A = this chain, B = another copy of it.
């Protein structure tokens, strides 16, 4: 009991955060605790009071750093998006097949346990209850990421910039739609009838994503290069 005093390493602010840097640092610490907690319990069971407890604060203090629960999640989303972007782009190699590209995209997106659950709730939940200016700021982060994706995609898939942007947009759509089934309740293997098990198996997200990603990339590739004309 009484786990105050020194927390971690050199910086160790258990005192009040007064300077702007200290406040930013504390905010980031809270975000890291929040992300761990979020990975444990998911979106719906995540409570601000519990988060405060885990971060060694009191609920009211959280609201000095985040105006609403949703604004906190929006920040987590931005960070996970940028993190995933780095990992995905970093995983691409010079010339790639559509299939290899789709596989990298899928596996890196799933690897980050926070990204997809946040992405899936972005429009219907998170973006409501957030100020317009904060939302604009977030959209700009998104624009930057889309551009980075498009550039890398254009290179490795040998597509025009316009084609690459089209690919990126559609990959997002497909990723959300295909991984939706992974977000259902974890009924594991318990006594589901065969017809339902077969249904679930037929909606397995990985082949669903990859097969359709390839179809779309090849479709886009074919559109701008009519094979028999000019």
Q: Which residues of A contact B (CB under 8 A)?
A: 43-44, 117, 120-125, 127-128, 130, 132, 135-136, 139-140, 142-143, 146, 169-170, 172-178, 180-181, 183-185, 187, 190-193, 195-196, 199-200, 202-203, 208, 212, 214-216, 218-220
Taking a contact as CB atoms under 8 Å apart, the answer to whether A199 and B136 are in contact is: no
Chain B residues within 8 Å of A214, by CB:
219
Taking a contact as CB atoms under 8 Å apart, the answer to whether B195 and A143 are in contact is: yes
* Cβ distance A112 to chain B, nearest Cβ, rounded Å: 17
* Cβ distance A223 to chain B, nearest Cβ, rounded Å: 8
Known: A169-B208, A175-B177. 17 other contacts (CB 8 A): A121-B124, A123-B180, A124-B183, A127-B184, A128-B185, A130-B185, A132-B190, A135-B187, A136-B196, A139-B200, A140-B195, A143-B199, A172-B177, A173-B174, A173-B177, A176-B180, A177-B178
Question: Which of B123, B173, B184, B193 is the one whose CB lies under 8 Å from A184?
Answer: B123
A184 to B216, CA, bound (A): 25
Chain B residues within 8 Å of A191, by CB:
132
* Cβ distance A190 to chain B, nearest Cβ, rounded Å: 8
Question: Which of B122, B176, B184, B215 is the one whose CB lies under 8 Å from A177?
Answer: B176
Question: Which of B139, B199, B215 is the one whose CB lies under 8 Å from A199?
Answer: B139
A140 to B196, CA, bound (A): 7
Question: Which of B117, B203, B219 is the one whose CB lies under 8 Å from A169?
Answer: B203
Q: Known interface pairs A173-B208, A177-B175, A215-B219. Does A44 touch B125 (Cβ–Cβ under 8 Å)?
A: yes
Chain B residues within 8 Å of A216, by CB:
212, 215-216, 219
Q: List 8 A-B contacts (CB under 8 A).
A: A123-B184, A127-B185, A128-B185, A132-B191, A142-B199, A143-B195, A143-B199, A170-B212
Chain B residues within 8 Å of A202, by CB:
169
A90 to B172, CA, bound (A): 31
